[in-house]
């Protein structure tokens, strides 16, 4: 839970409204209220509003008034003024979060005053991208009239932050961590479990994905039933981030709770998943980005013959390949037990061919295909290996020491498989390649 949270503020109405959200975050007992200013020679801290109010520091005085609502709500508040870091204001915020042992950074999606232009994009974006803890980024309508909620305070809110929570799920380990978190929080009016199917290949694929999604959502709905409130499952199609933000508006959600990383974000270079980053950017309501409690289990191994039907199911998205236990060795990448990438080595009477190199959509550009082929080459490379590469894969195979060869140098039984090209392999975008045996 979020016992200690850090809130950067620039003293705008937007920042003040963000501060009030702290009173609605489950489990919070302490808040660090932070102002970054280049007028501060060093980090200065006050442990009560009275102490901050009596300080000769003007930012400290302003923090004391900004934090009154938090103290009245029974929260322990620490007031901190600090200079920016050479790396930027976001770095000073994250350093303060680490120094103070914060579980969560609560930050406005934009601001006014000293940080206006920065908070409208750069600082909040960098905090969201680089934080190693949970982040809640607020999004509110335009500046309110004087008598609106932003002036009257949080007591007038009809819909508390955690009343109608939209929870995007992809059925990965991160999904189940979020479900565990939700089970620890009370007071929901409704939890909307939303799964987005990004694409389908054909009617059979559509039916399979719908059945799997409905069954998985039903299991999650059952797990959440004991906490009370409505649990509403939704399935949508299209771009996940776009659909999540659209449905949040249609369903009048008060909060989007999304995992920092989804199933397709592991073995990647970025510090945050693409969907979480886009939702935080596009949403018009607060977004809680939950940092994972554990990493995903990614395994690269040879697939046993008993698992060949799983390989065929994965290949159903790629030329309907069939597995032959008498001739094939298949190597795969599993993410949390799901087979997401494949590479096959098939034995012919006069040689070994690599084919069936495929990564499921949503898991691409993560190095999975390279991991599968690397293991295949390690296990099977004692003999020469052949492949018919497509043009866009030539460099990929060259990185494993494959070289282009004339068609006539391919083993006859492998070459015969490509008779449909009628001798025009280049016209069919096929290029014969060979990797010599290890030590040759």
Q: pLDDT, tens digit, for every residue of 187-203?
A: 789 999 999 998 888 88
Mean pLDDT over residues 407-417, rounded? 88
Burial of 343 (0-12, 13-18, 19+ CB in 10 A): buried
% of the chain with per-residue pLDDT over 90? 52
End-to-end Cα distance, the chain: 59
Largest CA distance in the chain: 89
319 vs 407, more confident: 407
* pLDDT value at residue 271: 62
Res 155 pLDDT > 50: no
Mean pLDDT over residues 160-180, rounded? 89
* pLDDT value at residue 269: 47
Instruction: Band the pLDDT of 125: cuts 50, 70, 90.
Output: confident
pLDDT in tens, 263-298: 666 544 456 778 888 999 889 999 999 987 655 678
227 vs 414, more confident: 414
Give the whole-angstrom CA distance, residue 319 versus residue 291: 38
Least confident among 6-10, 36-40, 91-95, 286-290: 36-40
CA distances from 164 to 76, 94, 189, 374, 376 (A): 27, 29, 6, 47, 48
Res 439 pLDDT > 80: no
* pLDDT value at residue 113: 39
Least confident among 228-232, 286-290, 329-333, 366-370: 366-370
Most confident of 96-100, 178-182, 419-423: 96-100
pLDDT in tens, 6-34: 999 988 888 888 999 999 998 899 999 99
Mean pLDDT over residues 151-172, rounded? 76
* pLDDT value at residue 424: 63
Mean pLDDT over residues 228-248, rounded? 93
The 134-138 sheet, strands edge to edge: 44-46, 76-82, 30-36, 4-8, 104-108, 134-138, 287-290, 255-259, 164-168, 190-197, 230-237
Which residues, in sequence order, are bridge partners of residue 167? Answer: 193
* pLDDT value at residue 319: 67
Long-range contacts of 53-57 (CB under 8 A, 24+ apart): 57/81
* pLDDT value at residue 77: 94
* pLDDT value at residue 416: 84
pTM listed for this prediction: 0.69
Give the whole-angstrom CA distance, residue 9 versus residue 13: 10
What are the structural domains, with CATH classification, of the chain?
A: 4-290 (3.40.50.12370), 298-435 (3.40.630.30)
Mean pLDDT over residues 92-118, rounded? 76
Report the mean per-residue pLDDT for the chain: 85
């Amino acid at each position: 839970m979020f016992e200690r949270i850090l809130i950067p503020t620039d003293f705008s109405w937007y920042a003040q409204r963000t501060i009030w959200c702290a009173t609605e975050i489950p489990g919070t007992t302490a808040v660090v209220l932070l102002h970054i200013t280049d007028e501060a020679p060093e980090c200065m801290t006050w442990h009560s509003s009275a102490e901050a109010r009596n300080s000769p520091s003007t930012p400290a005085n302003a923090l004391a008034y900004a934090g009154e609502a938090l103290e009245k709500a029974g929260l322990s508040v620490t007031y901190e003024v600090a200079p920016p870091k050479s790396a930027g204001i976001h770095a000073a915020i994250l350093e303060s979060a680490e120094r103070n042992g914060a579980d969560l950074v609560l930050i406005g999606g934009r601001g006014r005053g000293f940080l206006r232009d920065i908070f409208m994009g750069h600082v909040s974006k960098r905090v969201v991208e680089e934080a190693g803890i949970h982040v809640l980024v607020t999004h509110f309508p335009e500046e309110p009239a004087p008598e609106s909620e932003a002036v009257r305070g949080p007591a007038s809110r009809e819909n508390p932050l955690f009343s109608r929570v939209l929870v995007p799920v992809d059925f990965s380990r991160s999904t189940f961590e979020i479900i565990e978190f939700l089970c620890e929080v009370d007071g929901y009016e409704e939890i909307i479990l939303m799964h987005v199917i990004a694409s389908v290949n054909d009617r059979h694929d559509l039916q399979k994905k719908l059945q799997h999604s409905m069954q998985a959502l039903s299991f999650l709905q059952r797990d959440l039933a004991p906490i009370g409130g409505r649990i509403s499952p939704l399935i949508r199609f299209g771009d996940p981030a776009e659909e999540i933000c659209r449905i949040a508006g249609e369903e009048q959600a008060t909060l989007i709770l999304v995992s920092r990383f989804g199933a397709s974000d592991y073995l990647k270079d970025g510090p945050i998943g693409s969907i979480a980053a886009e939702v935080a950017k596009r949403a018009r309501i607060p977004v809680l980005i939950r940092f994972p409690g554990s990493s995903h289990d990614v395994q690269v191994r040879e697939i046993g013959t008993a698992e060949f039907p799983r390989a065929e199911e994965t290949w159903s998205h790629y030329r309907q390949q069939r597995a032959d236990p008498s001739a094939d060795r298949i190597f795969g990448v599993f993410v949390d037990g799901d087979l997401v990438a494949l590479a096959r080595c098939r034995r012919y009477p006069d040689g070994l061919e690599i084919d069936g190199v495929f990564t499921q959509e949503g898991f691409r550009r993560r190095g999975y295909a390279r991991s599968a082929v690397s293991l295949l080459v390690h296990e099977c490379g004692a003999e020469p290996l052949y492949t018919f590469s497509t043009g866009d894969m030539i460099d990929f195979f060259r990185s494993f020491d494959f070289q282009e060869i004339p068609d006539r140098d391919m083993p006859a039984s492998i070459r015969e498989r490509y008779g449909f090209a009628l001798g025009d392999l280049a016209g069919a975008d096929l290029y014969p390649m060979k990797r010599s045996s290890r030590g040759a």
